[in-house]
A = this chain, B = another copy of it.
Amino acid sequence: MIYDLSHLLNNNSPVFPGDVEPEFKQISNIEKNGYRETRFHIHSHLGTHIDAPAHMLENGKTLDELDVSCFHGKALIIEVETGRNFIEKDILTPFEKDLADTAFVLFKTGWSKFWGVQKYFDAFPTLSAQALQFLLQFELKGVGFDTISADPVKSTDYNNHYAIFNKGMIIIENLIFPEDLEATSGEFSCFPLPYEKADGSPVRAVLKV
């Protein structure tokens, strides 16, 4: 069974405050042209997407510099109970064994239910400094969140982004976990578009259970 962990995109999809508004426009149709075609006017961090280390690091790798295997592997889903402002270390420690045997950690905070409303950009949970340090001792390919960012939206230092990128890892943002997904691990894929100098890419993130 393959689960879709991606938000459906359209012209009303929310973007990080100040970012390019997406436009998907049908430019050919069957009646007139004999076929349908769509023009995209979007940006590299739209919807469910990957941040490459090059998103913020001067010498960080772009997605096209990473082998495709960097976007696929075992994932562990860690649930963060409602009401937490931070994903703290005590949430991670019970998973110490599992963390040693996974490629991706995906945090399920439930914040995706606010996708499309203002609250989505407000006080969503982010990794505490201690939790981040604990997490980064493991050999991971990436860390994913069902929120707009790995750092608070008003962050100015982007500590979490920098720390994760400095380990050569990718960040996946704006994930959504389907209601019927009960498994807490599986085979995760988030293959980016293969464009040059990719600082990020919208993706179809999926979990095969």
Contacts and interface: CB of A to CB of B under 8 A. Distances in A.
B38 A40 contact: no
Interface string A55-76: 1111000001001110110000
A206 B68 contact: yes
Contact of A37 (B4, B199, B206): B199
B8 A36 contact: no
A151 to B, nearest CB: 11
How big is the A interface, by class?
A: 35 or more
B195 A8 contact: yes
B2 A47 contact: no
Given A72-B208, A189-B191, A196-B24, A37 B30 contact: no
Nearest to A56: B35
A42 interface: yes
A6 interface: yes
A204 interface: yes
A8 B45 CA distance: 19
Contacts of A158: 34
Q: Which of A40, A55, A158, A208 has the most CB of B within 10 A?
A: A40
A137 interface: no
Interface in A143-161: 158
Contacts of A1: 69
A48 interface: yes
Interface in A114-145: none
A194 B204 contact: yes
Nearest to A8: B194
A200 interface: yes
B26 A197 contact: yes
A93 interface: no
A51 to B, nearest CB: 9
